[in-house]
Chain A
Amino acid sequence: MRVADLSIKNYRGVRNGHLRFKSHVVLVGGNNTGKTTVIEALTLLLGRDRLIRDLTEHDFFGSDPQPADRMHLVATITDFDGEDPNAHPDWFRDGRAVPKWWDEKTGMVNATQTNASWRLCCQIGVQAYFDRPSLTVEVVRYFHDHDELIDPFDEDTPVGVPPKLIQQFGFFLVRASRTWDRVLSWGSELFRRTLQAAAAQPSGAILAQRDRLRAPERAIEDDPHIAPLINSVNDEVARCIAGSPKLTLRVTNTDSRSVLDAVSPHYTVGAGMSVPAARQGSGLISLQGLFLLLELGRLRSEAGEGFTMALEEPELHLPPATQQQLVLRVQALSSQTFITTHSPTIAAMADPTSVLMLRNVDGTLTAAPFLTEKLANNAASWQRKFYQHSRAEVIDALMHATVLIPEGRSDHLLLKTILRPLMLRQEWDGEHAYSFGLDVGVVPTEDAKVLEIARDFLRIHPRVCCLVDGDREGHRYSRELLDLNQPVITVLRWPDGYEIEDVIGWILQADVTSIVGLSSDIPALDGADLAGVISHMKAKKCDVVLYEAVAEVISENQACRERASELFQAMTSACTGVASARYVMINQVWIFQP
């Protein structure tokens, strides 16, 4: 079984949202777009009760729910073996779900199967409302029979989803805020469940520990430091109570339950002393916890039970290689996974059609797959380079509020190389180049496919900007981009006759003496003037050594640094549609004003 789609109404930052899922989903999006909201919505729908957090007014969109306002979630569950409702009596019968049919192509749910490719599905709904008189949020989870209005709190009495089915579905969640140090002990439900499924109580060892604690070799009360006190207590007791009981001091309550409760996980490295988990680095602990969870997943899938795992930010505490290994293991062992991440590395390794780019515009949440379908064998070479080889960089750029598509790789490289030392040198106030780095993600465009990439990105990103040269081609690109008739596209163009190298020239011009510093790294530029530097840069596109040398020169010189800063700040403004002294809109195109 897996979740085929999810619709969200009035939940947290989402007024309205609809998402469709494949088997191994990776949710990518800026902060506050709703990655966690999606995971928490799935938890409300499919999680066991103890996974579900108490809801408050803040869980409703707008935080001020009126009596008639409902939070409303619906998930479509599909992938029932054999596609026959009668083969799944636990799910489909009177008192349980009504069978429905899911059209994978359109995402529509139908009442009857009129097309053989439609898959058997059922829908689970959750509604909640804020009950003003009691100041509590009432929640129900039920089988969602139809899309007509169902109000479980007013007129209707829907059919609840029994815990048995929730258990069968097997939804497990690892939140971003993890408390792993208690996971490997009997206090943790996960541990007990895994133990139950995978092994047996280590009863022999526990009983041996109990007996040892009952009759310790060196009893505490016999220690000469404490013995006088104990003895006088015993004497007092003997005076008052016949058959005087004797005081002894024991570790734990000396029954097996207390021994289990007292067990605390430790880790030993090499021949060293074992150290309690709470004092270990978070990486080791979270890894152990995850592996325990995966072990449970393995056992469940062996037993033919469902195992769906939602994992928030697997990159936490772990080095990149481990992150990747972990994600692969999770995906291999689960019938379905939901992973949220801020890590382009993780997003880039997943199936690109399963990577969902979330966007939230005024409460409307949408999710589009990074690619709608896998790259065909005959895909153009720029597509392979851009979407496969540079995927991590592309996804990285898409994680920004604005994505900027320059004409070529060299623009991407040059902008990034110059920005980096500027950000390192930024001071508490004055220079604002860093906002470019935070707000604008630049992609490594291949083969000047500005138009093609912009068209692709419109599907997945709310704010797409393009940056073109001030030549004939650049004019043509700007025309074609504007012809796309998409108000979300912002076009930036260098002034006529300018390419990015000329703009760098403009920065260096702030203090031409600065270019003297270039010759130490680039002997060819020994004695070159500004024009020479510019033409050298144009001849040596994507030369990292050259770019870094230029970047260093700029960052070392205050006048140049200020200009560069001004450029980045102006670009950030133009990208968000704000005019500045350096950017003016002419015929719908933002033109840089050197």
Chain B
Amino acid sequence: MTITVFSGGAGCGKTYQLMYKLAETIAATPPKAGQKVLALTFMHGARRRLDEQLAAVPGLARRYECTTLDSFASRIVRRWQSLAIQLGARVPAETEYDDMVAVAAILLANREVVLWVKTSFPILVLDEAQDLTRSRLAIVQSLATELTSLIAADEFQCLEPALRPNPAWEWLKEQKDHIALDKPLRTSVSALLDAASALRSGLRIQTGRGFSISCTPKPPMAGGFLNTYIAGLKGRGLAVITPTFKNYSDSVVAWTSTRSNARGLGPYPIKWEQSETRMVEEALAAITLPNNATPAQARHALSAVGDIALSRDLMTWFDRLARTRNAPVITKEALEERIQIICANRRRFQPPLARGIKAMSVHGAKNREFENVVVLWPAAVTGDDDQKRRLLYNAITRAKSECLVLVQLQKHLNEPPFA
């Protein structure tokens, strides 16, 4: 077993190096028949991007499996259930993600389980390792005892306050084969690079060509500003990124989507990239179901759901229930769980709509890149100074050409993360 670590700030080519090293590794010791590379990520969006990158690795020829850590954990638990029970663990339900991960960690502490994985997957690739919670880290550490592991991480991009000090980083920085990357490759816009490095160092950030900050206290003002900006882009790619959806950001996006400004620019429809929980909530709100409904009643209730794909998936589920169970009933809880699973799967398999302007959370923007970025920075951003710097860092480093930050409160400009 060997562990190779790549670290460095956003845009330093960690992922690129990871793929390069992978190509080298498989050239040196090609996987045997039936063996594949195991690539683990956190969110489904990231999985899709990693999948694309892996597809381009020379020599790999689709001999890889790209999956989220949580699905990998749930697979381990499902297959090794009898060992889990023997070890005294409870087998969690499919939607109890954290419990599932914890049980998988217990299972993978057994060498036979790790060897069983290794026989199929001699090589592990993991990006964004700073986001590993303790039990997810335990899974990776167990795998790394046997699998050749290629891991990339940037401690500063961890947005979870509970992970400070960062347990994965504590482990990774001790690894002998550790390559620190410090040359930014994503953009050559110096104002963007300077702002990013100032945030990392906790210094005041400077604006410049390609990076500007404006104070726009009222949503209509911010919206008007945004309309002008969008008009100037002439269709080049844009993402609106915000640390919190509520109030300010929601209102700004709503204004731009429906109104034109004083110069007659706009409206420009902007779609929120929904989080899984929000999708589930919306779907549930649209369905009115009698308690313990029959599949026929449930099918009827679905007509109110606007989401055609979701209602089709639910129909398939109702149909399966009717075929495989005697007199099945559908409870609210079961329906909710099913909608959750469907939404999770959908994020797993369907790429988000590529067209139009999207608004998203900083978390949702992680590890992605856009030509232009507008950051909406509302009055109420929670977290300590360090957390705020991390949030802003993650937001502005998504931009390749230009980034505009709209701040709600003037006084914030003299406080972290801006100063």
Contacts and interface: CB of A to CB of B under 8 A. Distances in A.
Interface of A: 66-68, 85-86, 89-90, 92-96, 98-100, 110-112, 129, 131-133, 145-148, 151, 153-154, 156, 159
B323 A67 contact: yes
A146 B81 contact: yes
Contacts of B85: 111, 146, 148
Interface string B112-125: 10011101110000
Contact of A145 (B32, B80, B119, B321): B80
A133 B323 contact: yes
A140 to B, nearest CB: 12
Given A111-B83, A146-B81, A89 B119 contact: yes
A94 B119 contact: yes
B382 to A, nearest CB: 38
A85 B120 CA distance: 13
A111 B82 contact: yes
Contact of A159 (B79, B80, B112): B79
A94 B117 contact: yes
Contacts of B91: 148
Given A85-B116, A145-B81, A145-B82, A68 B320 contact: no
Contact of A132 (B117, B120, B320, B323): B323
A117 to B, nearest CB: 18
Most chain B CB neighbours (cut-off 10 Å) among A86, A89, A94: A94
A156 B91 CA distance: 14
B80 A67 contact: no
B115 A111 contact: no
A201 to B, nearest CB: 28
B350 interface: no
A94 B120 contact: yes
A151 B321 CA distance: 12
Contacts of A148: 81-82, 85, 91
Contacts, number: 80
A67 B325 contact: yes
Most chain B CB neighbours (cut-off 10 Å) among A89, A145, A153: A89
Interface of B: 32, 34, 75, 78-83, 85-86, 91, 110, 112, 115-117, 119-121, 320-326
B322 A67 contact: yes
Contact of A98 (B32, B34, B79): B79
A66 B326 contact: yes
Contacts of A96: 120
A154 B320 contact: yes
A118 to B, nearest CB: 13
5 contacts: A94-B75, A96-B120, A112-B83, A148-B81, A148-B82
A388 to B, nearest CB: 43
B80 A129 contact: no
B324 A68 contact: yes
B119 A92 contact: yes
Contacts of B112: 85, 99, 112
A65 to B, nearest CB: 11
Nearest to A93: B119
Give 10 nearest A-B pairs by CB, closest first. A93-B119, A94-B120, A146-B82, A111-B83, A111-B82, A93-B120, A146-B81, A68-B326, A111-B86, A154-B324
B324 A86 contact: no
Contacts of B110: 112
B82 A100 contact: yes
A100 B322 CA distance: 35
A92 B116 CA distance: 7
A133 to B, nearest CB: 6
A94 B121 contact: yes
A156 B79 CA distance: 11
A60 B83 CA distance: 32
A112 B115 CA distance: 14
Contacts of B115: 85-86
Most chain B CB neighbours (cut-off 10 Å) among A95, A147, A151, A159: A95
Contacts of B82: 98, 100, 111, 145-148
A39 B324 CA distance: 27
Contacts of A67: 322-326
Contacts of A131: 323
Contacts of A66: 326
A221 B51 CA distance: 68
Most chain A CB neighbours (cut-off 10 Å) among B83, B119, B325: B119
Nearest to B91: A148
B346 to A, nearest CB: 17
A111 B117 CA distance: 16
Contacts of A110: 86
A489 B238 CA distance: 87
Given A145-B79, A146-B81, A153 B324 contact: yes
Contacts of A98: 79-80, 82-83, 116
Given A67-B322, A133-B323, A94 B86 contact: no
Contacts of A159: 79
Nearest to A113: B112
B305 to A, nearest CB: 22
Most chain A CB neighbours (cut-off 10 Å) among B85, B86, B115, B320: B115
B146 to A, nearest CB: 10
Contacts of A151: 324
A110 B320 CA distance: 33
A66 B326 CA distance: 7
Contacts of A111: 80, 82-83, 85-86
Given A98-B80, A146-B81, A129 B116 contact: no
A189 B115 CA distance: 38
